[in-house]
């Protein structure tokens, strides 16, 4: 029997999220002659879907359009390509930020964003330490970001990258809004909405911006301190992680 295995451009944080994705796919594939199984890849917690049946090509196209697919192999990564990935190993290196772009066969290869690029694009050329830039812009393990590939060395298994235009534009828009963002990692949007309603914090939030299927940025109303929301949010979302993007602090430090 022919099988199609796809690695979705989405990471799962637990088995419950895998079940959510499988349920979503089966709902959208209702009426199609296709069997669907969802699991995680051995490397990196990427979600993999295995399809079989007469309509697997239709199902595969839906997944490609709605989720995007990982490159899986370095030979599929091209210079100047813009890719979505997840930040990994924050704090383990002082000179570079590493991003998992979904390359894991035959081995894991992360994209490397050098500190000098982050300083040039995010801190207005100031020689801030990576730790400081990460703190200001909310870089945290499993945060999705867009990167632009600047070099690929397949012999050395090296990918160099910089922040993608879409990512830089997002940071600029966040910074110029003068509004705090509370970034929630590891929760579906339904869980976020349920938490906001239960705690009454929906009065303090303007929008929920999707960063990934299980990662969201909550835009706070003017005068609402994102860091101050974490104790209450954390009590109701114990399996999630929280990061703050404070636009006023960034502008103050950069003197913009």
Q: What is the pLDDT of residue 1?
A: 64
Q: DSSP secondary structure string, the chain? A: ---EEEEEEEE-SSHHHHHHHHHHHHHHTTTSS-EEEEEE-TTTTEEEEEEESTTHHHHHHHHHHHT-B--EEGGG--TT-EEEEEEE-TTS-SSEEEEE-SEEESS---EEEEHHHHHHHHSTT----HHHHHHHHT--TT-EEEEEEEEEETTTTEEEEEE-HHHHHHHHHHHHHT--EEEEES--HHHHHHHHHHHTGGGTEEEEEEEETTEEEEEEPTT--HHHHHHHHHHH-TT-EEEEE-HHHHHHHHT-
Q: Pinpoint the residues of the chain covered by CATH 3.30.70.
A: 178-254
Q: What is the pLDDT of residue 214?
A: 97
The CATH number of 72-170 is: 2.40.50.140
The β-bridge partners of 51 are 4, 36
Angle between helices 115-122 and 130-137 (to 10 degrees): 50
Q: Which fold would CATH assign to domain 178-254?
A: Alpha-Beta Plaits (3.30.70)
Q: Pinpoint the residues of the chain covered by CATH 2.40.50.140.
A: 72-170
Structure tokens at 177: 């809004």
Q: What are the two backbone dihedrals, phi and then psi, of residue 131, each rounded to the nearest 5 degrees?
A: -60, -40
Structure tokens at 72: 């899986």
Please, what are the averages of pLDDT over each run of 10 residues along the chain (256 residues)? Answer: 90 92 95 94 90 96 96 97 97 93 96 97 94 95 97 97 98 96 97 97 97 97 96 95 96 87
Q: What is the pLDDT of residue 43?
A: 83
State the Cα–Cα distance between residues 55 and 14, nearest whole angstrom: 29
Q: Which fold would CATH assign to domain 4-66?
A: TATA-Binding Protein (3.30.310)
Q: Pinpoint the residues of the chain covered by CATH 3.30.310.
A: 4-66
Structure tokens at 1: 């029997």
Q: What are the two backbone dihedrals, phi and then psi, of residue 222, each rounded to the nearest 5 degrees?
A: -55, 130
């Amino acid at each position: 029997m022919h099988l199609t295995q796809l690695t979705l451009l989405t990471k799962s944080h637990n088995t419950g999220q895998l079940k959510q994705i499988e349920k979503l796919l089966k709902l959208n594939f209702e009426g199609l002659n296709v069997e669907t199984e969802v699991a995680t890849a051995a490397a990196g917690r990427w979600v993999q879907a295995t399809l079989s049946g007469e309509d697997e090509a239709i199902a595969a196209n839906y997944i490609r359009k709605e989720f995007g697919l990982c490159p899986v192999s370095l030979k599929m990564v091209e210079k100047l390509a813009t890719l979505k990935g997840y930040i990994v190993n924050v704090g383990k290196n002082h000179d570079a930020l590493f991003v998992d772009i979904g390359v894991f066969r035959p081995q894991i290869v992360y994209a490397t964003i050098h500190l000098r690029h982050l300083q040039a694009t995010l801190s207005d050329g100031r020689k801030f330490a990576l730790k400081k830039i990460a703190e200001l812009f909310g870089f945290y393990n499993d945060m999705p970001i867009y990167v632009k590939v600047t070099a690929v060395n397949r012999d050395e298994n090296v990918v160099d990258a910089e922040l993608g235009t879409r990512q830089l534009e997002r940071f600029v828009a966040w910074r110029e809004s003068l509004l705090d963002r509370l970034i929630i990692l590891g929760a579906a949007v339904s869980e976020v909405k349920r938490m906001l309603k239960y705690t009454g914090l929906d009065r303090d939030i303007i929008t929920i911006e999707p960063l990934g299927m299980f990662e969201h940025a909550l835009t706070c109303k003017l005068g609402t301190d994102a860091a101050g929301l974490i104790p209450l949010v954390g009590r109701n979302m114990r399996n999630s992680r929280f990061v703050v993007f404070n636009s006023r602090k960034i502008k103050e430090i950069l003197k913009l």
